[in-house]
Structure 1
Amino acid sequence: MKTSEKMKNTIIYIVTLLVAMTFFTACMGEGNDATTVENQKGMNEEEKDSEEGELHLSSLKFNSLGIKLDTLSVRPLSGLVEANGQLEVPPQHEATVTAVLGANVVTIDVIEGDKVRKGQVLANLSHPNLTQLQTNYIKALSQMQYLEKEMKRQKKLYEEKVGSGKTYQQTLADYQSTKGEVEGLEVQLNQVGLNALEVRNEGVRQNVPVTSPIDGYIEKVKVQIGQFVDPQSEMFLIVNTDHIHADLMVFEKDVHKVKKGQDIFFTVESVPGAMLSAKIYSVGKQFEQNPKAVHVHAEIEEKRDFLIPGMYINGKIHTETKSVFALPEAAIIEEEGKPYIFMATSHQEDGETEWAFKAVEIRTGLIDDGWIEIKLLEPLPKGALVAWNNAYYLISEMKKSETSHEH
């Protein structure tokens, strides 16, 4: 009996030992699995870390955003100098019409905005002063004609030794004096708008015309019918807008970039939708002091009816042109004060194309009509593709991805 119990205890011990060994082995296996998972997790994290600074987009997402890819292109760009100013007309194409002699306005034949030609009658004046001028001219002319005949008669007598030389000399002096007076009165008649020949043939005119000295448009009428105008009074202002030009102020820091022959594109503040072009024909040689800038004059290439002297304009002067790497503005993003573009690569994953975008720090240069010069800090791989748009979206998604990795 004792022997039987002893065997029974031995069997129980063996079974217990086997169960314990089996349990221990199972625990060791679970520990190895946990270590493997932890190691795999570490490898995945390491793989993710190696992809930081890149944004991955599926083919579907890429297509939905309409991202344009191409190589970095070479494009001719011009430097730009921004300048403001106004429309002006050269002094020789503006006129202020006054009365040479004081007189009363009898008629006004034009209104503001009328187009006039040189010599066209603008108004008529009347006054005893004008009548007296014509009378004096006719009187002096008659006297000159008499003295001319007398001078010729005395000369003949003197040459025939019949007349006195003294008498001839006196007659000659009187004739020349009167001739000078006639010539002076003719000048005065022309100045007030009267034709001396007409006065000579037709006699004294009651009304004296005021005529335009240039072709142009009536900018201002400053008189009324019946008004007395003295020689200093402004009657009409005339401007020839055919010669209107852009007068821009260029600041001291940009003057060295501006030259004759350069193109300017400008807008008029009162007509913001109209873009006009001009070409520089003169750069000032003296600084205005407030602000410190020089005048730059440019001939407008296609003059429009709405252009009026005095209108304020905003212009961009295109300076030297050179061929540079360039991208559209939408391809560049500034982050923490540094500009970036995005280089794109693709690979296949589960039969689908996946795109990877990497931010590349650059420097920028010339800016011209929506294009920006790209200065690479390091060369891109040959044939590398870069994003031509959506830079703002790409940097935003990249920052979101980096934030999620941190958590």
Structure 2
Amino acid sequence: MKRWTVVAIGILVVLALLVGVGIGKRMSNSGRIEEPKREASEQTHEREERHSEITLTREGEKLAGIKIVPVGYGEITQTLEVTGEVQPNTDKLVQVGSFVSGRVSQIFVNVGDEVRAGQTLALVDSTEVAQAQAAYAQAQAKLEAAKRRWENLKRLAQAGTFTQRPLQEAQREYADAIAQVAIAQAAVERAQAALDLARAELKRQQELARIGVFRYPPLQEAQKEFVAAQSDVEQARAELTSAQAALVRAETNFQVADRNAARAERLFQIGTLSRRELEIAQAERQKAQAEVMAAQREVEAKKAALERAQRQLELAKLKLKREEEIASQNIYAQAAVQKAEAEVQQAEKELAQRKAELEQAKKRVEIAKAALEREQRIAEQNLLAQRELQEARAEYEQAKVELLAAQNALKLLRVKAGQSARIPIIAPISGRILERRVSLGQTVNANDVLFVILDLSSVWVDLRVFEKDVHAVKVGQKVTITTPAYPNRTFVGTVRYVGDVLDEKTRTLLVRCQIPNPQRLLKPEMFVRAQIQIGKRKALVIPVTAYHEDEGKAKVYVRKANNRFEEREVVLGTRSGGWIEVKAGLREGELIVAEGAFLLKSEERKEEFGEEH
């Protein structure tokens, strides 16, 4: 209120300085009293011509803060306005899986959690990794032992003290090979029994899937949650209505108490009411005011509760829809059958491995038998030293090959030598957990998707451009985005992709823009309006502060000679920043009022009012 009072006083001071202008005009027009009476239409035309110009002294112009600028040419940015929707940037949407099979021992995140690149999301205990690490350690130890043996044999051979290998060692190896065949045969029999059990379990699971045992529990749970969420929303609405009614009552009580207090203060001032009665009335007003504030807080709390209930209802609705789709596809039954099939496959693999070990044991018997026969021949000749050196060198080379194979196995599992068998699942990007598809204790396979991470720091906006405007859109053009969700904010990005095929129904082309979204305000599926900057051109422009509207027409004040200001109608075009295009009504170089046109308009209204009276 004080600000408008100061402005009004300033205007009155300026108008007082302009009084000389008005008096001069009225004196110059006073001669009309002595002139013969004219037609009404001629008088009206003459008055309109007079009102189109205002004379102002230099002092009045300076005091009024009027700013004069010349009309000139400037650069206008041409834009194309289209609509579209926000979409997630697929480069920022990552499915995180496990590179190894195993059991999930720990989970550190839930849906909705913010994560950073490199953060551990879960831990998987992998027997596959443990076996690969053990094989690597064994191969490394074998290589070191083979190297030491070869070097020791070379020293012994050089010293001439090489000890012959006892024939009994070959006999012992042959006996061990025979024993290993018996062990391998027993392992094959156990593997065959396990395969038979797995096949029986698969048959049972297939029968359960056929009768639909797995289908209904998750769907029924989702239906119950949806009904409960609906009930919560209705209850929240009822509580909000009750709180709003209480607020209305509290506001009514406060109005009554306020009037009573004001009346008591007046009666106290004239001496017809005691101070105690006045204090009681004031206390009642304060109490009523406190009740209003409490009721307002209660209404806000109930609104928040309603919003939470509505969000929970949306989540329940999505879960119900998902469970209905899952139920219709019989996914739970398929998962149980797939698990049983996987166990059969694993049992078949185990049996094949045990049979391979049996064959290997049998070959070892053959090798041990041949070695024994060779040892028997060598024992009769003096060829042991040369033979031992060759074997030691061959063992050393074989150990290097086995170590390299163990290293490659670790690389395939994407683990380092010596790393724990508890494998961390690492977030490759920063973002928010969109989905969590794993539970604690669950067994996962290599390449199973465990988490889905979405980073909204950069989003795509898919726009639909009509066929007639396609020629103007190019990759790299600047785009300004607005959305009803944030009416006072703009988001700026660039065109990243222009489609190649028109939509045959809408006759529009897909244009994809990349928009930085550091505060994660833009969400997928949000509706947006976009302005694509398709080019620039030269045009006659004026500041946007220079024009005003009068009866739906754009007008400006043009400065003429002898401190005269003419109000002139103009035709405006495209607006660009703080400038606007003038299509007609002005010429380059003309001087116009950029600031202070309000005072000139007030003076014009003042003169019109004076002439009408």
TM-score bracket for the superposition, by shorter chain length: 0.5 to 0.7
Equivalent residue number for residue 106 of structure 1 = 105
Moved more, 85-94 or 391-400: 391-400
Q: Distance in 2 between matches of 1:283 and 1:338?
A: 40
Q: Distance in 2 between matches of 1:146 and 1:264?
A: 70
Moved more, 217-226 or 242-251: 242-251
Equivalent residue number for residue 35 of structure 2 = 39
Pick closer, same or farther for the CA change 1:144–1:267 going to 2, 3 Å. Answer: farther
Pick closer, same or farther for the CA change 1:227–1:291 going to 2, 3 Å. Answer: farther
Q: 1:282 aligns with which of 463, 487, 497?
A: 497
Equivalent residue number for residue 28 of structure 2 = none
Q: Distance in 2 between matches of 1:36 and 1:280?
A: 68
Contact 1:116–1:218 (8 Å) recurs in 2: no
Pairwise mapping of residues 332-351 of structure 1 onto structure 2 (< 5 A)?
332-347=547-562
Equivalent residue number for residue 124 of structure 1 = 124
Contact 2:543–2:578 (8 Å) recurs in 1: yes
Report how far residue 72 of structure 1 moved.
Answer: 0.3
Pick closer, same or farther for the CA change 1:234–1:260 going to 2, 3 Å. Answer: same
DSSP 3-state at the match of 1:39: coil
Q: Distance in 1 between matches of 2:539 and 2:477?
A: 20
TM-score after normalising by structure 1: 0.57
Q: Distance in 1 between matches of 2:504 and 2:599?
A: 46
Larger radius of gyration: 1
Report how far residue 287 of structure 1 moved.
Answer: 5.8
Give the residue type in structure 1 aligned to 2:35. N
Q: Distance in 1 between matches of 2:473 and 2:479?
A: 10
Contact 2:456–2:520 (8 Å) recurs in 1: no
Structure showing the higher helix proportion among its residues = 2
Contact 2:73–2:539 (8 Å) recurs in 1: yes
Equivalent residue number for residue 593 of structure 2 = 387
Q: How many residues align?
A: 316
Pick closer, same or farther for the CA change 1:282–1:392 going to 2, 3 Å. Answer: farther
Moved more, 394-403 or 49-58: 394-403
Equivalent residue number for residue 511 of structure 2 = 296
Contact 1:221–1:237 (8 Å) recurs in 2: yes
Equivalent residue number for residue 53 of structure 1 = 52
Equivalent residue number for residue 258 of structure 1 = 473
Report how far residue 330 of structure 1 moved.
Answer: 1.8
Equivalent residue number for residue 180 of structure 1 = none
Equivalent residue number for residue 30 of structure 1 = none
Equivalent residue number for residue 61 of structure 2 = 62
DSSP 3-state at the match of 1:63: helix
Q: Distance in 2 between matches of 1:210 and 1:136?
A: 27
Q: 1:217 aligns with which of 412, 426, 431?
A: 431
Equivalent residue number for residue 76 of structure 2 = 77
Unmatched 5+ stretches in structure 2: 1-30, 127-338, 367-408
> Taking every aligned residue pair, what percent have the same amino acid on both sides?
22
Higher relative contact order (CA 8 A, sep 6+): 2
Q: Distance in 1 between matches of 2:506 and 2:601?
A: 41
Equivalent residue number for residue 244 of structure 1 = 459
Q: Distance in 2 between matches of 1:392 and 1:140?
A: 95
Report how far residue 210 of structure 1 moved.
Answer: 5.0
Equivalent residue number for residue 308 of structure 2 = none
Report how far residue 317 of structure 1 moved.
Answer: 2.3
Pick closer, same or farther for the CA change 1:396–1:133 going to 2, 3 Å. Answer: farther
Q: Distance in 1 between matches of 2:482 and 2:475?
A: 20
The answer to whether the aligner puts 1:398 opposite 2:604 as a matched pair is yes
Pairwise mapping of residues 18-29 of structure 1 onto structure 2 (< 5 A)?
none
TM-score after normalising by structure 2: 0.40
Report how far residue 122 of structure 1 moved.
Answer: 3.6
Equivalent residue number for residue 565 of structure 2 = 357
Contact 1:124–1:208 (8 Å) recurs in 2: yes
Unmatched 5+ stretches in structure 1: 1-34, 154-189, 348-354
Residues 65-111 of structure 1 deviation map (CA, whole Å, 9 limit, x = unaligned): 32211110221110233445454433243123468999864311445
Equivalent residue number for residue 319 of structure 2 = none
DSSP 3-state at the match of 2:76: strand
The answer to whether the aligner puts 1:326 opposite 2:541 as a matched pair is yes
Q: What value does the CA root-mean-square deviation take over the aligned residues?
A: 5.3
Give the residue type in structure 1 aligned to 2:34. E
Report how far residue 335 of structure 1 moved.
Answer: 3.3
